[in-house]
């Protein structure tokens, strides 16, 4: 491969500067502040503060509620990621088979993606209204006394459902284009070799979809961890009570509602470490095992 | 686009010039909807009443959002002159010495007469320091009262209960018989905890309910309140009580729909309920009490919010703020606010004016809150002062939710509240170091 080069080493640095400055101001600087304030307990108005070392962290580790939120976040992330990937894949495979009208089908599904998370949450609130929500009635028809906002598990189910519903379209689009980029010759060869559609899918199509799938896996984990904030906030109406919440939402509840800056900073730092671990995992472990075409 | 004529331009320039002579102050508040309209009305009335000062009200979202915005603005040196802070945020703002000018000092320094005894009993000390000096100006003050559906009680052949004993043996069974859920209630920490303690004159926290220092311990894990919550779960099992969620409206809606016969809400809900076209007539009465705990029930204290004069402004602006507070506490303005919203009038003079005007003859329910705030006081009825209290309320809401969905026992829930609240209080004490 031919290498393009610069005659001086200052030119590339100069060209990179705007980007680096933006990263420094909008990422490293706030991150540094978060790390710093996680070692203090400070008066919200900024009058007094006490250096407490790792106390904010040890308090979190010893707090059974924080552990409960962490466990819920894990379960929530696994469920949302699994269902939004699985359902989208199923829809994509079906859509791939019938190409007539696929464009309309795609556009219709894509619309849901344009719905903002709080709006999605609000639609959830309407669907699950305690006295007249259509989905509450549907659940009642099957003998499930669904009470959003009262029962922990019911609220959790609604959160998962709304989050999955909102994420399916984008996964669907990626899976569909992934499927369509599988070379015809490979498909035809598979068709000759093997009669069963199921084994054809698992032996040929699925491995070839792996790069798309892996990319979507990371995107969906990030979505479930962070972007569902608006949905969680709307479904618990800003006051979680005994309803489930995710780690990101707890940062907001303690920091912005409760003015506990130190505790909330410690939680943010833990999340930053989590994202870092996820990134390392993405590039180090999985990326190598995936075969990109 | 409209063409601007020379005369209009000249008029505009002149108006801008005239406006320049006024001292402009800002007021950040959390009053949305109809309440916000009333706030705007008060502000424009103040602006019209004189030409030296001009106040601009700015709606900042919920109570929590307003406080957070105010704190962020203060740290950036851009704070408003007047900021509305709710009951649970009081410790945060009063704890930050130098963030606000005590309202009593502000008024005295600017030649406005001030006597704390002009204010009705229940509102005097909630936003005061431990010496009784008023720090925040009580504004939208409310207290929990019991609303009831008149037709439902008639159908069941009962009157509104005065004690919880009467509720569980007489009222609730009759209402159930008549096809109603007897009771629902909004904001469990506020009504069934904070005001439960003041109604029965029980200590809520050490250090004189937290007023005398920050090394405070909460005293919520006591027999009286545990017995109360045990009774509540029994009522729930018997179909006398239903809980619809943590949100305020979740529990108010079933009352408005006529499904629930009695609802514990805020005296400040009166205005909103009156404006709604409810399918029944409603009235209100005082919060019931347990005869087993006390035979002399005491007053409750105020909830809602108060106005703080933020520090860091020049003398002229502070003078404008004092003038606005003077206007706001006048009997006419307080009566207007009371009549429009249902929040209690904060001064005796405004209360007298409302009585003289026949407001309570027309709407007896509007007087219940103020009557309850004027009951005999006790050692533990002036309020409480605890830091990180928003989070403590979140802990209470969570544990109460668990009790009412059968996830935990009353005993375990109160142990959890006690230990988590004390941990938060200890953490708050360190922020003041």
By Cβ distance, the residue of A48, A242, A254 closest to B432 is: A48
Distance from B14 to chain A by nearest Cα, in Å? 40
pLDDT at B1: 40
Range B237-256 average pLDDT: 95
pLDDT at B186: 95
**Does ipTM top 0.85?**
yes
Contact A239 B246 (CB under 8 A): yes
pLDDT at A181: 85
pLDDT at A137: 92
Give the residue numbers in A contacting B (CB under 8 Å), as ranges.
41-50, 52, 59, 63, 65, 130-131, 147-152, 236-243, 253-254, 256-260, 262-263
By Cβ distance, the residue of B257, B388, B404 closest to A258 is: B388
Is the pLDDT reported for residue A110 higher than 80?
no
Residue B112, Cβ density class (10 Å: 0-12 exposed, 13-18 middle, ≥19 buried): middle
Distance from B22 to chain A by nearest Cα, in Å? 30
Cβ pair B319, B110 in contact under 8 A: yes
- The least confident of A200-209, A268-277, B397-406 is A200-209
Range A70-97 average pLDDT: 93
Contact A258 B390 (CB under 8 A): yes
| Residues in B touching A242 (Cβ below 8 Å) | 246, 397-402, 405, 407
| Residues in A touching B390 (Cβ below 8 Å) | 257-259
Distance from A182 to chain B by nearest Cα, in Å? 51
Distance from B256 to chain A by nearest Cα, in Å? 13
Contact B427 A59 (CB under 8 A): yes
pLDDT band, very low/low/confident/very high, at A238 (cuts 50, 70, 90): confident
Q: How far is CA B124 from CA B35, B332, B367, in A?
A: 23, 19, 18
pLDDT band, very low/low/confident/very high, at A287 (cuts 50, 70, 90): low
**What percentage of chain A carries pLDDT values higher than 90?**
53
Nearest CA-CA partner of B183 in B249, B257, B231, B255? B255
Range B404-431 average pLDDT: 95
Contact A41 B97 (CB under 8 A): no
| Residues in B touching A240 (Cβ below 8 Å) | 246, 394, 397-398
pLDDT at B220: 97
- Four-residue CA torsion sign, A226, A230, A231, A237: positive
Range A19-37 average pLDDT: 93
Is the pLDDT reported for residue B34 higher than 90?
no
As given in the structure block, the two tokens for residue A287 are: 């990326």
pLDDT at A124: 92
> pLDDT digits over B157-200, tens only?
999 999 999 999 999 999 999 999 999 999 999 999 999 999 99
**Mean pLDDT score across all residues of chain B:** 92
Among A258, A261, A266, A267, the strongest candidate for a mutation testing the B interface, having the largest count of B CBs within 10 A, is A258
Is the pLDDT reported for residue A220 higher than 80?
yes
pLDDT band, very low/low/confident/very high, at B2 (cuts 50, 70, 90): very low
Is the pLDDT reported for residue B6 higher than 60?
no
Angle at B119 between CA B45 and CA B301, to 5 degrees: 110
Annotate chain A with DSSP letters as a single string.
Answer: -PPP--SSSHHHHHHHHHHHHHHIIIIIHHHHHHHHHTTEEE-TTSS-EEE-TTHHHHHHHH-HHHHHHHHHHHHHHHHHHHHHHHHHHHHHHHHHH--TTHHHHHHHHHHHHTS-HHHHHHHHHHHT-TTT-HHHHHHHHTT----TTTSHHHHHHHHHHHHHHHHHHHHHHHHHHHHHTS-HHHHHHHHHH---HHHHIIIIIHHHHHHHHHHHHHHHHHIIIIITHHHHHHHTTT--TTS---HHHHHHIIIIIT--HHHHHHHHHHHHHHHHHHHHIIIIIIHHHS---
């Amino acid at each position: 491969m031919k290498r393009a080069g610069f005659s001086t080493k200052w030119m590339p640095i100069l060209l990179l500067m705007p980007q680096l400055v933006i990263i420094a101001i909008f990422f490293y600087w706030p991150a540094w502040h978060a790390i710093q304030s996680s070692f203090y307990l400070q008066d919200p108005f900024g009058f007094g503060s006490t250096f407490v070392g790792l106390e904010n962290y040890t308090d979190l580790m010893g707090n059974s509620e924080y552990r409960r939120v962490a466990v819920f976040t894990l379960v929530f992330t696994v469920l949302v990621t699994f269902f939004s990937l699985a359902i989208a894949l199923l829809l994509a495979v079906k859509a791939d088979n019938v190409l007539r009208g696929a464009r309309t089908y795609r556009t219709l599904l894509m619309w849901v993606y344009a719905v903002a998370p709080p709006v999605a949450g609000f639609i959830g609130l309407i669907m699950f209204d305690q006295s007249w929500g259509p989905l509450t009635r549907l659940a009642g028809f099957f003998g499930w006394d669904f009470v959003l906002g009262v029962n922990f598990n019911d609220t959790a189910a609604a959160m998962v459902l709304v989050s999955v519903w909102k994420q399916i379209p984008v996964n669907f689009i990626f899976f569909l284009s992934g499927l369509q980029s599988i070379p015809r010759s490979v498909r035809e060869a598979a068709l000759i070799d093997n009669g069963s559609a199921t084994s054809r899918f698992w032996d040929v199509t699925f491995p070839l979809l792996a790069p798309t799938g892996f990319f979507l896996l990371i995107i969906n984990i990030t979505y479930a961890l962070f972007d569902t904030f608006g949905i969680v906030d709307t479904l618990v109406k800003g006051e979680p009570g005994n309803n489930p919440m995710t780690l990101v939402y707890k940062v907001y509840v303690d920091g912005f509602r409760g003015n506990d800056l130190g505790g909330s900073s410690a939680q943010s730092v833990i999340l930053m470490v989590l994202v870092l671990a996820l990134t390392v995992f993405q590039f180090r472990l999985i990326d190598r095992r995936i075969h990109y075409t | 686009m409209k063409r601007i004529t020379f005369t209009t331009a000249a008029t505009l320039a002149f108006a801008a010039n005239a406006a320049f002579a006024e001292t402009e102050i800002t007021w950040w508040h959390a009053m949305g909807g109809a309440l916000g309209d009333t706030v705007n009305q008060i502000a424009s009335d103040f602006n019209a009443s004189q030409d030296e000062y001009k106040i601009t009200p700015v709606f900042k979202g919920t109570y929590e959002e307003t406080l957070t915005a105010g704190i962020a603005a203060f740290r950036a040196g851009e704070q408003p002159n007047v900021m509305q802070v709710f009951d649970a945020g009081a410790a945060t703002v009063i704890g930050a010495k130098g963030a606000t000018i005590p309202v009593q000092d502000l008024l005295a320094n600017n030649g406005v007469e001030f006597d704390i005894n002009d204010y009705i009993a229940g509102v005097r000390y909630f936003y005061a320091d431990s010496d009784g000096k008023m720090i925040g100006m009580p504004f939208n003050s409310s207290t929990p009262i019991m609303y009831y559906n008149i037709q439902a009680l008639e159908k069941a052949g009962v009157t509104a209960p005065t004690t919880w004993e009467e509720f569980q043996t007489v009222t609730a069974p009759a209402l159930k018989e008549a096809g109603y859920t007897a009771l629902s209630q909004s904001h469990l920490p506020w009504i069934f905890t904070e005001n439960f303690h003041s109604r029965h004159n029980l200590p809520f926290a050490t250090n004189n309910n937290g007023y005398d220092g920050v090394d405070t311990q909460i005293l919520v894990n006591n027999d009286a309140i545990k017995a109360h919550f045990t009774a509540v779960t029994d009522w729930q099992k018997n179909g006398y009580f239903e809980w619809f969620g943590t949100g305020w409206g979740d529990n108010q809606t079933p009352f408005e729909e006529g499904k629930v016969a009695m609802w514990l809400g805020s005296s400040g809900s009166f205005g909103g309920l009156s404006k709604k076209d409810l399918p029944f007539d409603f009235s209100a009465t005082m919060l019931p009490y347990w005869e087993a705990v006390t035979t002399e029930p005491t007053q409750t204290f105020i909830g809602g919010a108060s106005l703080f004069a933020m520090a860091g402004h020049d003398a002229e602006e502070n003078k404008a703020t004092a003038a606005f507070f003077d206007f706001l506490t006048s009997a006419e303005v307080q009566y207007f606010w009371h009549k429009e919203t249902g929040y209690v009038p904060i001064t005796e003079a405004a209360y007298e004016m409302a009585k003289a005007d026949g407001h309570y003859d027309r709407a007896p329910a509007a007087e219940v809150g103020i009557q309850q705030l004027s009951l005999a006081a006790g050692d533990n009825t002036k309020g409480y002062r605890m830091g990180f209290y928003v989070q403590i309320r979140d802990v209470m809401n969570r544990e109460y939710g668990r009790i009412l969905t059968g996830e935990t026992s009353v005993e375990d829930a109160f142990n959890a509240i006690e230990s988590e609240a004390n941990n938060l209080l200890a953490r708050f004490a360190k922020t003041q170091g």
